[in-house]
A and B are shown apart, each in its own frame.
Chain A
């Protein structure tokens, strides 16, 4: 009955590799987000999708590409990984069509690039 789930939870990889992180929500929300939490624990938005349409695209290297196959899923693909990409990546979702408007967060994916 997990609300927002992410896989994998931990990801250790070498520089230059390509990797993907998957996110799924079963809350019926129409908007999904990717946030990055850096080593100083600061959380910052990367992308958001509403009904599969890209709404927010922050100043993120174009090595990062989000993909939303449907409203319940938002995946993050990262090409040519760099040391500075090491962080915790959080997926979140919310409803913009009524309700509490809270953003619900997944457990995070800790990415370590060596």
Chain B
């Protein structure tokens, strides 16, 4: 059974700092990995999707990497801003069109 763990559970940083969020999964036979952002009381916004054959994806200040063999992914946020404050969720999909298995999230606070 796939299990996804995110470390740290919470992170507070000053504005402008670069930071890394970590995600690990127990079964390396994944189809893809997706990073989401969830603001309080809101839905999920997809940030980046990395397919199993890829090593990383970039979007603006965000860079996600995937090391499938070791069961790890990182989300790097450059030059953090207060608007980045949210919960970041990592999820893995084992086959196309199957369930996403989520981690418990990292709650990020960026202080002005």
Which residues of A does B touch, CB under 8 Å?
A: 30-31, 33, 35, 40-45, 48, 50, 55-56, 58, 90, 92, 94, 96, 100-108
Residue of A nearest to B45 (CB): A105
Total count of chain B residues near the partner, CB < 8 A: 24
Contact with A along B22-41 (1 / 0, CB 8 A): 00000000011010100000
B42 x A108 contact (CB < 8 A): yes
- Shortest Cβ distance from B31 into chain A, in angstroms? 8
Q: Chain A interface: which of B58-66, B74-82, B99-107?
A: B99-107
- Shortest Cβ distance from A91 into chain B, in angstroms? 9
Q: Which 10 A-B pairs have the closest CB atoms?
A: A96-B97, A45-B99, A105-B44, A107-B43, A43-B102, A31-B97, A96-B96, A102-B49, A108-B43, A105-B43
